[in-house]
Amino acid sequence: MYAGHFAAGLALKAKAPKAPTWGILIGVGFLDLLFGPFVLLGLEQVSLTPGVSPGFSLDHIDWSHSLVMSLVWSGLFGALFLRWGRGVAAVMAVAAFSHFLLDLPMHPLDMALWPNSEVHLGFGLWRALPVGWWFVELVVVAAFGGYYLHRARRSDEFGRRPVLALLVVLLLHASNSPWLSVL
C-alpha cells in the first residue's frame, strides 16, 4: 500500500488541521523511510520475486515494521512534534502507526510482533489477490480521500487545493498499478 498511506495522511490532516501537512505525510511513510537504511545496514532483508506479486519478498522487516517497533517508532516520531502541542504530537504518532495498520491487510505473514519474534502478522492480499489488492487500495484511497475532500470544502483552515491533492494521490495509485509491471 503506497497511495493508501498518503490518503490516510490527507484524512488525518482533515481531522487535525493544525498539524503540519509535511509532518503527517512524512509520518505515514516513516516506517518505509526507516526500512531503506535498515536494509543498507543489513538489519533487514528483502529479495526480488519476479512474477510473484508484489515483485519482492520482505524477508526480515522486524526492526521497521514489527508491531512493537512500529509503536516505538510512532511514539518517537510523535515526540518530535511536542513543541506543536500534545494534540499535534499525538496526530503525528497516529500518522506513523497508521502505516502498520494499513500494511497489515496487504502484507503476507512478514510483519513480526517484535524483532525476531516467531509470530508474524499479515493477511496477504498482495499474494491472495495479485491484481485485486489494487482495487482494495483504491477503496481505501477513495474513502480517505472522500473524507479529506468533504472536510476541506467545509473549512478554510487547510486544503486550499483539495481536488489537486487527491488527484496526486490517485495518480500515485495509478502508477502503482499491477498492469504497468506487465508492460
pLDDT at 53: 67
Q: How much of the chain is in helix, strand and coil states, percent to nearest 5?
A: 60, 5, 30
Q: Which of 126, 109, 37 is nearest to 73 (CA)?
A: 37
In a domain, 182, yes or no: no
pLDDT at 36: 94
pLDDT above 90 for 34: yes
Owning domain of residue 20? 3-175
What average pLDDT does range 101-114 have in this prediction?
A: 96
In a domain, 12, yes or no: yes
Query: Domains in the chain: how many in total?
Result: 1
Does residue 1 or residue 67 have the better pLDDT? 67
What is the pTM assigned to this prediction? 0.91
In a domain, 183, yes or no: no
In a domain, 181, yes or no: no
In a domain, 152, yes or no: yes
In a domain, 105, yes or no: yes
What average pLDDT does range 36-57 have in this prediction?
A: 87
Confidence of residue 158 (pLDDT cuts 50, 70, 90): confident
What average pLDDT does range 147-156 have in this prediction?
A: 91
pLDDT digits (tens, 9 = 90+) for 76-104: 999 999 999 999 999 999 999 999 999 99
Percent of the chain with pLDDT over 90: 80
Alpha carbon distance 170, 164 (integer Å): 10
User: CB under 8 Å to 63, separation ≥6 — which residues?
Assistant: 34, 38, 43, 44, 69, 115
State whether the Cα torsion 127-56-39-141 is positive or negative.
Answer: negative
In a domain, 180, yes or no: no
| Lowest-confidence segment of 8-17, 58-67, 94-103, 174-183 by average pLDDT | 174-183
Percent of the chain with pLDDT over 70: 97
Confidence of residue 183 (pLDDT cuts 50, 70, 90): very low
pLDDT above 90 for 181: no
